[in-house]
Structure 1
Amino acid sequence: MGRFHAENPSELIREARLDAGLTQAELARRAGLRQPSLAQMESGTRNVSEEMLDRVLEAADYRPSLALERNFNAVRKAASRRGLRNVRVFGSVARGEDNFNSDIDLLVTPDKGTTLFDLALFGEDVRTITGFTTDVIVDDGPFPSGWQALREAVPV
């Protein structure tokens, strides 16, 4: 089973390619494909398996910031369902330094009665929605001295 699930993989491939500043020929070469095959995937005239989608997105260095931007409404809804609000992103995604191997670091405000289980389930929800591993931290706990997350966190 693939890491990424998309209703429209052709759109996702094109978005990742353009974000990386690659031509179809360059991305095809990186992914070990022929350019006409990639063009068919991008146009939607060729089916894309989940495994092939993973391969092409990795070759394009698809970033979690793109996935988060593309799916922010779904992430906010998942947070609300789990009793979380004020969802913010920090770390490499917030700084614009993310790459295909980055995770998503989220800072949230829990409602009264929210459990660690809710936080873990929300992290899994975001991973399922975006395809990227997600760490979730609450903003009402003690923080290490010099911790920058509160200062660099930006709303989702």
Structure 2
Amino acid sequence: MRRFSPQMICLYVTGAEWTYTGEHGVDQWAKDFPSYCSGQSQSPIDLEASQVTYDSDLQPFTFSNFDNTNGITWTLLNNGHAAQVSIGSGTMQVSGGSLGGTYQVAQFHFHWGSDSTKGSEHTVNGLAYPMELHIVCFNTKYGNLGDSLANPDALAVLGFFFE
């Protein structure tokens, strides 16, 4: 499981000033946004199958209230990079795996491309997927997303590739 440091949250906090290519592309993130994007393990990443090892100690994730939308308010917006759904009220949480705590869903968003050969933010062995879903969660011990960001265990971002 890849652990995300506070520096890896740059895609979620800097807004529409960045892009994946061009003047504000990936190669410029550390220079343009040093407070958030100057870490050693930045997004986007290429997951190399030859570098993946199986961890038999990992436990399954536990999802709470993902099947109960009563009392949950949602806001859909185009943030300039993805379709994003922010959770305004209600509690959807995830724990288990190797998280070491309970994480509350703050938002989820989709990345997609103009055809089925591109779209995902991340790749596997250099190959992109047509779409990728990120569920962005914050550690509940900090109370809210903003207060959690200065901590190394601030976020858990669950990523799902679509075929």
TM (norm. structure 2) is 0.24
* Structure with bigger gyration radius: 1
Higher relative contact order (CA 8 A, sep 6+): 1
- Which structure carries more helix by proportion? 1
- Which structure carries more strand by proportion? 2
TM (norm. structure 1) is 0.24
